[in-house]
Structure 1
Amino acid sequence: MAHVVTGEDFAPDTAALAAVIFGVTAFAVAQGLTYPLISLVLEHRNVSPSLIGLNAGCFAAGLAVATFAVTWLSRKVRGDRLIVAGLVGCAVSLSTFATFDTFWVWCIARFFLGFFVSLIFMLSEAWLNTACPDRLRGRVSGLYGAGMCGGFAAGPLVIPIFGTEQGFAFALLAVYVACVAFLTIILTRRARTLPEQAASGALFKFVRSAPMLICMVVAFAFADIAAISTMPVYFVRLGYSEAFAAISVTVLALPTALAQPLVGWLLDTTSRFGVAICSGLLAGLSFIAIPFLQSQAAILVMFGIMGAASFSLYTCALTILGERYAGDRLVAGSAAFALAYAVGSAAGSSSVGAVMDVYSPSAGPIAAGCVVLAFTAALVASVLRDRLRRRS
């Protein structure tokens, strides 16, 4: 049986890290394609933004359910095998989108897609922090984030090629994810570490012990899903082409992927909470600026800044998680992150879509920016309160 290397400093488990990054990249490609593609397909079928948000909320519900199932599943099945099972489940769910056209079938498939990617999400995070020493944690988290964002960027590029009316994009993605599952099986055989099992009841204990980290992940999820789910609809309603709406998601993710290694270096060399606060502030202001920009180039530049800043919140949270926790508490923390992501993403897709329905398309990004700034203010207050408590 594989063993975990202990100690403050050790050689990173490169096979495990490669498996984790490949797996999360596949998850990101799936999410990066399905969020804008499903939104655009349903918009083309004259489905209201509220129902589009509901469909996206099914994905978030799957994320949430998986967080409560991971404790039982990790005791029955080894963590690396659960990651492979999650990839296979994603491939099957994506095949469903390519086969059926019924809205409610898509809701069910979206739920199971969320469930399986949540397993990948939670176990990959825990394994990542187990497989690398703290001296490299920020940079490894940055590479992990770069892989995820690269996947987000690559996914929407399929839309201009295959369009939104056929199921080819979903079918192609299902094949790709299945191939990643096979590669992951090969890499896990060379790994020296394994994801830890989740302890019973540890999820809620972690939520109570780390509210700042939960706040950061909720803010990231809200901004991320608001951007990739509702903003394509925002652009189409303002008269932009579907190709521009899809490319905007790629532009959102590509600079984010390039920025994460730099963010990781900053996390290893400066204040980790300071980086998080600056990221939240920049993400919120970027959302608010979007409706006031007329040039397509300026909008895309602002989208890139928004993506890099909002995703940096997650990179910060993941790095601090590995710094402060170990063993089964890493799995509990990863599960809490997945639950926080589910809450934030459900709120981001449904509330911003509802605001666009009730008021105007431009109200959507402004509302999203205000919410992210409110989360950032709460994070600042929490950090200041923690410092005052330490001084007293």
Structure 2
Amino acid sequence: MRWATYFAVLASVLSVGLALGVSMPLVSLRLEGWGYGSFAIGVMAAMPAIGVLLGASLASRLAGWLGVPAAMRLCLWGGALSIGLLALLPSYPLWLALRLLIGTSLTVVFILGESWINQLVVEQWRGRLVALYGSSYALSQLAGPLVLGVLGSDDDFGFWAATGLLLLSPLLLFGRTGAPSTEACSVTLRDLLAFCRRLPVIAWAIALFAAFEAMILTLLPVYVLQQGFTAEVALFMVSTVVVGDAVLQLPIGALADRMSRQALFSGCAVSLMGSSLAIPLLLHTPAIWPLWVLFGASAGGLFTLSLILIGERYRDDALVRANAHVAQLWGIGCLLGPLLAGAGSQWVSGHALLWLMAAGAAGLVLLTRRAGAFEPAAL
């Protein structure tokens, strides 16, 4: 196994997580400071989701034309340009367009990076190494709000720090080998529907985690502020959620190499449902801090286990296509989650974000209880 390549790809994806962890909360806090409501902030949060759908359709084509490493480098630099322009062009309509570009370019990085890692790892280490990828990405997002707390949200230092990271990280990918081979072709929504019919539990889990991540980084800081906490506490609560995601992914990955991955998956779904329902009840008590950890860990576990199960089934071009479908589902979850939670928070209840997560997790629990839920269905 090419360990140096594995860690180079890991580091490049980590730089993306850190850049997003710094810039996404800063965008939401800046918009609230400008007087925008939860729905407008939710619309802004949903824009990268449309970019995700565009990036998913382009990833295989770019990789076929340029090769996986060159395509990743190009898109990392495109993300750097887009985040830098957020600082230079402080306008809501322009930020909508820039967030679209960020979503498109960085989606290609995620698709190709996840495919490269799943192609490299050996089966007996798949759970742990894929979990290390998920944990590293979550840690980078954790560091993002912490860095933003140090830099402050009253100026543009956060945007410039994220830009610098994405300018430097592509250099790590020069000379790396072992990437999956792929053909230059688009992945359509019809292909996505076929993937969802074959693996509906995994498809649901990925869309749910995408909604979770988009809402946690964008709407959760606003939710906490509206519940009477300060901006500093809001950022630390977001970081605590990501701590749960990051710290517990490695034990989950280790368990995935030793026990039934399906049983572990079902347990994460039940934990996410329970923690989502409990947070509004315990928000102003000390118990909220371990509950935030469980909330993040159970959601992150669903995504990590989904990637592990995909890696068991696909290689090379089929693996890139499967990860493109992951990105499409990610885009759908990122698009619908913030829009529904933002509208619900503004016009129904301030706790709509948590209620939405509980409902999604409940649906996943029901899917996991179907006979043969984790076996690919025949088309």
Q: How far apart are the structure 2 equivalents of 1:206 and 1:370?
A: 23
Q: How far apart are the structure 1 equivalents of 2:3 and 2:375?
A: 36
SS of the residue corresponding to residue 47 of structure 1 reads: coil
Q: Residues 101 and 307 (structure 1 numbering): CA distance in 2 closer, same or farther, change over 3 Å? A: same
1:55 corresponds to which of 26, 44, 56 = 44
Task: Report whether the alignment pairs 1:105 with 2:97.
Answer: no
Which position in structure 2 is the counterpart of 1:240?
229
Task: Report whether the alignment pairs 1:217 with 2:241.
Answer: no
Q: Deviations over 1:294-320 (max 9, x none)?
A: 445422321111111101111101111
Which position in structure 2 is the counterpart of 1:196?
181
Q: Is the 8 A contact 1:32 1:152 kept in 2?
A: yes
Task: Report whether the alignment pairs 1:31 with 2:20.
Answer: yes
Q: How far apart are the structure 2 equivalents of 1:82 and 1:386?
A: 33
**How much identity, in percent, do the aligned residues show?**
25
CA shift for structure 1 position 163 = 2.2
Q: How far apart are the structure 2 equivalents of 1:225 and 1:354?
A: 15
Task: Report whether the alignment pairs 1:363 with 2:352.
Answer: yes
Which position in structure 2 is the counterpart of 1:374?
363
Let me know the Cα RMSD of the aligned residues: 2.0
Task: Report whether the alignment pairs 1:261 with 2:254.
Answer: no
What one-letter code is carried by the residue in structure 1 that aligns with 2:354?
P
* Correspondences of 1:147-226 after superposition (within 5 Å): 147-185=136-174, 189=175, 191-198=176-183, 200=185, 204=191, 205-226=194-215
What one-letter code is carried by the residue in structure 1 that aligns with 2:270?
L
Q: Is the 8 A contact 2:107 2:327 kept in 1?
A: yes
Name structure 1 gaps, 5 residues minimum.
1-11
CA shift for structure 1 position 271 = 1.1
Q: Is the 8 A contact 1:222 1:372 kept in 2?
A: no
Q: How far apart are the structure 2 equivalents of 1:56 and 1:280?
A: 24
CA shift for structure 1 position 55 = 0.8
1:311 corresponds to which of 300, 311, 314 = 300
Q: How far apart are the structure 1 equivalents of 2:26 and 2:371?
A: 38
SS of the residue corresponding to residue 13 of structure 2 reads: helix
Q: How far apart are the structure 2 equivalents of 1:46 and 1:381?
A: 46
CA shift for structure 1 position 60 = 0.5
CA shift for structure 1 position 85 = 1.3
Q: How far apart are the structure 1 equivalents of 2:159 and 2:185?
A: 37
Q: Is the 8 A contact 1:129 1:322 kept in 2?
A: yes
SS of the residue corresponding to residue 104 of structure 1 reads: helix
Q: Is the 8 A contact 2:61 2:184 kept in 1?
A: no
Task: Report whether the alignment pairs 1:118 with 2:107.
Answer: yes
Which position in structure 2 is the counterpart of 1:82?
71
Q: How far apart are the structure 2 equivalents of 1:171 and 1:135?
A: 41
What one-letter code is carried by the residue in structure 1 that aligns with 2:58?
A
Q: Is the 8 A contact 2:244 2:295 kept in 1?
A: no
Question: How many pairs are equivalent?
Answer: 374
Q: How far apart are the structure 1 equivalents of 2:206 and 2:58?
A: 20
Q: Is the 8 A contact 1:290 1:299 kept in 2?
A: yes
1:70 corresponds to which of 51, 59, 84 = 59
Q: Deviations over 1:66-90 (max 9, x none)?
A: 1111232122111011111121111
1:280 corresponds to which of 261, 269, 282 = 269
Which position in structure 1 is the counterpart of 2:119?
130
SS of the residue corresponding to residue 284 of structure 1 reads: helix
Q: Residues 80 and 48 (structure 1 numbering): CA distance in 2 closer, same or farther, change over 3 Å? A: same
CA shift for structure 1 position 269 = 0.9
What one-letter code is carried by the residue in structure 2 that aligns with 1:127?
W
What one-letter code is carried by the residue in structure 2 that aligns with 1:193?
G
Q: Residues 304 and 41 (structure 1 numbering): CA distance in 2 closer, same or farther, change over 3 Å? A: same
Name structure 2 gaps, 5 residues minimum.
none
Q: How far apart are the structure 2 equivalents of 1:40 and 1:232?
A: 8
Q: Deviations over 1:132-160 (max 9, x none)?
A: 11111111101101111111100011222
Q: How far apart are the structure 1 equivalents of 2:242 and 2:372?
A: 29
Q: Which stretch shows the higher mean deviation, 222-231 or 195-204? A: 195-204
Q: Residues 199 and 360 (structure 1 numbering): CA distance in 2 closer, same or farther, change over 3 Å? A: same
TM-score by length of 2: 0.93
TM-score by length of 1: 0.90
